[in-house]
Structure formats: structure tokens, C-alpha cells
Amino acid sequence: MSVETTKTQFSPSDFTAASRKDSLQQLSRPSLSYWEDVWIRFKKNRQATVSLCVVVFLLAFSFLGPFIWIVEPSQQNLNRISEGPSLGRMALVVDESSDEQTIEDPSFLYLPEHDNPNIGAPEKFEIIGTPSTLGVEIHWTPVEGAAGYLIYRSEKVSENLEAISDNGVVIKEITSGNEIGFVDRFDIQPRNYWYAIVAKSIDTTSTQYKIVSAKVVRAIGIEAAQTESKNLVKVGEMIKMSVHPLGTDYLGRDMLARLMYGGRISLIIGIFVPLIYILFGTLYGGLSGYLGGRVDNIMMRICDIVATMPYLLVVIILYILLGGHVGARSVFALMVAMTSTFWPGTARLIRGQVLQIREEGYVQASKLLGSSTIFIILRHMIPNTMGLILVNLTFAVPTSIFSEAFLAFIGMGVKPPFASWGTLCEEGVKTMSSSPHELFWPAVFICVTTLAFNLLGDGLRDATDSKMRSRE
């Protein structure tokens, strides 16, 4: 039997090495630590990053701002009380040295003997000198049979007595018939005013009147002008007053400086109070959840008792016992009172997380290696709840700031010489109708701070949630 064989010809190219192709699965993203991954996802959240910038600005405003805006927050200027925001207004220098005296005409009786039913109006009713924010001096001629006069003032254009009485108020009731002068110093602003005078007899009020208008200019006393200006000033000169970008309060103190120093107290309370009670609540809840059993039951019952106690009542009692009515101790008393009532919520939250984590394999392995309870809690339990703790902290800050503001409204806030945004709001409410800027600015800072920390907490919650990673 014969076998056929074929002869195959090979070339050198047939013996080249074959290329190797690996079909291994490639990594879709680089290997990152937990916190690196949190930071990358946090930066993708635009609201959270803007909120973080706002928080950094508020911290810089409160703690670095006083080194830039060097104005003493407690310095009073009674010549510039409740002024609105200004970048340096011009003011007329006037002399305030003369004492205000009652001007009388001795040729007329102080009180007439009989009523004058046909009593008329003064022949002259005029403004003396330059009407200014420090005073508008008014003179008139006496009326025969007058027992007194009514002086009206209106801020609206008034051409008759009905208009001026409807639009204005009686700013002075004079009870002598021979008095012929009056200086209006009641809350005068640089604007136009209309004044009217009506004479009164014993039983009759005149139907006739005189009206005069006054264009009031901003003015400053010579002594106050010397402190405002570094140069020598004279009566009658116009000077540029100091700058108050956010206005002044009811004692003439700079609002911007008070907001900076008040922000320190509000942010210290808002940040350190949550830090303290979250730290305590974390350790308390972590120990309770890890030990379990009877110890856990006893510790949680204590937590329940504290949580069910009336928050406001406990804060008031602790505030009084710790001497919160004294200025130097009010901040410490307020922080202790708030910390003592806020920690149970954090303790319950951390306990629930620890109950889940303690059954994990790495915790059981650490137990087998002989690790102590404290080591396991600090090394394994708490670090794995750090994301939850951080989110809880950011939500707790606005709650603490708002609580401090509420306590200030009921008289339980920080006391002078200290101030906070809450006490500034409490002071601003008193002058809200006439000087709304005193309430507006601290309220804006409280609202912006609260909103910024809430949005920051939302961003951190999404960034630390491991379930969010699988959805990306």
C-alpha cells in the first residue's frame, strides 16, 4: 500500500511570531479612595460647590473682615442714629452750643381772660435760619386772645389745613398764648416738610391757618464734625461724613462692623455647638450600638428621657443656672444649654448604623485578633459612619444658628458687650417701621447662612451615598 505525500513550501514570513491579544476586562474608572470619590462627585454638584464658596465667604467675612474694616462695633455716634446705607454723605457744619429757650412776647398774655370765638391765624409764620436735620426753627407772630397753638408737620405736599392734617401729625401743642417760637427736632430727615400753625383760644380752635415749607439739609454739629474730619472745620462748611455701607443702628453704631463681630458669635455657636453634641452623640450611640443587650437598652432609655424633656424649658433653666444674664458668661451658658438638649438625635442615628456595621466580616475578624472594644469602635465603627456624621453636622449648623436667633428674641441670647445676628435682629425689630435696614441685614445673613449649609448638606449627602455611585 502506497501513501501519497504532498510537499508544502514554507516562506520565512510564515514563521513570524503571532501577536497576542488579551481580552481581559478593562477598568472603566481609576482606583480611588472613598474620600477621593466623594470629592469628585461633590464637585459635580453645582449647588453644593456654590454653597461651599458662600460658607467660606461668611467665615472670611466674620473672622477676617474686622482686620480690613477697622471700625469699633461698640462706638456710638448719637448724631448719626439709624442712618441708612451711605458711602460718605455731605453735611453742613452748624453750631449746637446755644441752649434751646422758650421765646415769648411779653406784650401778650400767657392765658387770655375770655374766649375769643373769632380767633384768627398768625400774620407771620416763617422758618428761621437754615432748616437742618438737627433742627427746624419756626417763629410766628402772636394772636390776640390765643391760649395756645397747634403745630402740624407733613412730609407730603400740603396746600391747605385739611391736607396737612390728613397727611401729617401734630408735633407740638403749645399751651401759652405769648409763646412765639418752636424748634422741631423730632426724627428729621433731609427732605421737604410742610408746617402749619393753628391758634387756639380757651374754648375755640381757629379755622384759619398759615403754612410754610422747609427744605431740610443734612447737618452735623461742630464737635461731631471735628471727630468726623481730620482737618479743622468751621461753622457753615460742607464736610464729607464717614462711610457706613450698611448704615447705622439706633445708637449710631456701624452696622457692617456689628454684622462682622456678630457673625463671629453666631458662627462659633452654629459650628462648635454641633461639633460638641455630635461628637458626644457619636461616641454615646456608637458604644451603645456595639455593646448591645442590656447596656444598649439602659443607654437608649436615658437618651429617650433627655429627648422627651421640653427643649425650651431645659435651655432656660440651664441658661439661668450658668449665669447667662452676665455678658461674659452668656455665650458659654448658651452653648452648654443647647448642647445638652441636641445630642440624643445624633446618638440614635449612629446607634442604628453601628448595629448594621458590627455584623460585618472585618469587625468579626478584628474581634478574633483580640482588638479591644474602644479600638474597634474608633478604628472600624466611627470611620465607616463618617459620611453620615459629616452630613448631620452640616444640617445641624443652621439649626443651631436659628435656635440662637430664636432665643435672642425671647431675651435668652448673648448679652452686651457681645452681639450676634440673632440679637441684631431682636434690636432691629424695635425700629423696623422707621429704619428697616437694622432688621434687614442681619436677617439676610441668617437666611443666606441657613440656605448655604442646607444645600451643602444635600451635596454631601449625595456625594457620600454609595448607592449614588452605581447610578452614575
pLDDT at position 379 is: 78
| CA separation, residue 187 to residues 138, 155, 184, 403, 439 (Å) | 16, 12, 9, 35, 19
- How would you class 94 by CB atoms within 10 Å of its CB: exposed for 0-12, middle for 13-18, buried for 19 or more? buried
CATH topology for 49-72+251-471 is MetI-like fold (1.10.3720)
Domain boundaries in the chain?
Answer: 49-72+251-471, 92-220
Across the chain, which has 472 residues, the per-10-residue mean pLDDT values are 62 69 55 75 88 94 92 83 83 72 74 84 89 89 88 80 74 86 86 90 86 88 77 80 88 91 90 90 87 88 88 84 73 84 88 83 82 79 78 86 84 80 89 87 93 89 67 54
pLDDT at position 57 is: 95
List CB contacts of 384: < 8 A, sequence separation 6 or more: 353, 357
pLDDT at position 5 is: 61
Rounded to two decimals, what is the model's pTM?
A: 0.74
CATH topology for 92-220 is Immunoglobulin-like (2.60.40)
pLDDT at position 444 is: 94
Please compute, for residue 229, the number of CA atoms within 13 A of its CA located in the half-sphere on the CB side. Answer: 20
- How would you class 291 by CB atoms within 10 Å of its CB: exposed for 0-12, middle for 13-18, buried for 19 or more? middle
